Chain A
């Protein structure tokens, strides 16, 4: 669903809503997957991101997102230097993803401590983003809700127990999507909620022995 405030917005540092603001948001989502500024990041740029990214500051914007800067933060301009100063071991590469990949696509691999995640996302224009894959699971994250992402073993009743837990924590679910790579395999859940979840929500979810990992993603749009 397109929001009016995505069209009349975001307020952002130039020069490109897709190559700067959208790129920054993708960096922010990748940051959330490891719960903070990553120690290492591999950023693989595809299509127009690869061809014209430098001139648009796409590299600065993604690095800025990884550092937790939002699209209207004037520090984006100096994000590469700041990342180096903070000891982030980042690397940009140009790549070709699938033929049908959106022209502004990027694959970001982030590592922090013993955590490592990979996401595939695209900047759709006007600052809107779409994350289509996390750790090989197909997902659809637009970043316009607070979102909880978790991977659980394929246990009967897991969805019911998770939604009950979220209700106890006072969260209202906007959407819930489930995907798994094969029957009986791990399932990835993307739960969009109306309110900002506290850190304890994540801890409650992680307390289920069959939950492998759970993360809160920031609301970066809308």
Chain B
């Protein structure tokens, strides 16, 4: 698999291929498996993503601790805001839905991680529903997203414990932005700009869940991560270019992650987890979890 998005973009341009095609061929070569088989596996992931999104929309789930749940349904059914009846609002709802399923120990696709699992399905399936995108095109988009995520894994990190939330919902936003940009007809170069635009917006984002539970703020970070991805897609497709190349933005994300104090890396030692309310809620809920033996 590629270790540089710039290199992948150059190859895609030279070979007149999409990044999705390039990613599928590279994976086929690495794993010694036919492209069709990889597409099939991605198709299964797509099905699980849809199931999780649908499941979370119902609004009857509560997380293991009871801290989160039911908010996706509020966006679906609740009073309108400035984004009423838009793709944007639907994408936010889908991101919350998938993450609420995750927090309830339901089945999701970790893409790239479970903590950031809401962003990619929300952006891709939300756009697909509004724009009649085929499942084949969605599978291609997942391949592009996988390529971007693989580069982030190689150059930086995909772990909140290593790199903070910028490595989870931040990376997910970059993957979703790049993948959807290509899905909507963007060039490989535009994909690069979309990734950079999304990832730059989450630089420095810490991982600070209450009690270490992937619940609060994780559920909401997925919705805002999806919003960042949508903004990046819109800008990249409009022809906006980000002057710092995406590989360098990814590198600096890794660097910031390594410098980040351990309190901000999934240890519940800082950030929202360490606020007075954060501490109080976490304590109450963890006691409850233990008492319930869950």
Contacts and interface: CB of A to CB of B under 8 A. Distances in A.
Interface string B153-170: 110011111100001000
Given A4-B147, A55-B212, A74-B107, A15 B27 contact: no
A12 to B, nearest CB: 5
Interface stretch (A17-25, A151-159, A185-193, A198-206): A17-25
A103 B157 CA distance: 13
A138 interface: no
Given A51-B269, A194-B32, A18 B1 contact: no
Interface string A48-87: 1001111111000000000000001010110001000000
Contacts of B38: 4-5
Contacts of B136: none
B186 interface: no
B110 A17 contact: yes
B64 interface: yes
Contacts of A72: 107
Nearest to A4: B146
Interface in A6-45: 7-21
A51 to B, nearest CB: 5
A197 interface: no
B145 A52 contact: no
Most chain B CB atoms below 10 A, which of A9, A13, A51: A9
Given A4-B146, A8-B142, A125 B113 contact: yes
B122 to A, nearest CB: 15
A51 B263 CA distance: 11
B99 to A, nearest CB: 9
Contact of A1 (B30, B147, B149, B209): B30
Given A52-B211, A56-B213, A125-B162, A20 B109 contact: no
Contacts of A3: 1, 27, 30-31, 150
A126 interface: yes
A15 B142 CA distance: 21
Interface residues of B, number: 68
A126 B111 CA distance: 7
Given A5-B38, A103-B161, A126-B149, A17 B107 contact: no
Contacts of B1: 1-4
B65 interface: yes
B235 interface: no
A11 B48 contact: yes
A15 B113 contact: no
Contacts of A47: 161, 267
Given A4-B27, A222-B31, A11 B150 contact: no
A124 B143 contact: no
Nearest to B110: A17
B37 to A, nearest CB: 10
A10 B159 CA distance: 15
9 contacts: A2-B1, A4-B42, A47-B267, A51-B268, A52-B212, A53-B212, A125-B158, A125-B161, A126-B158
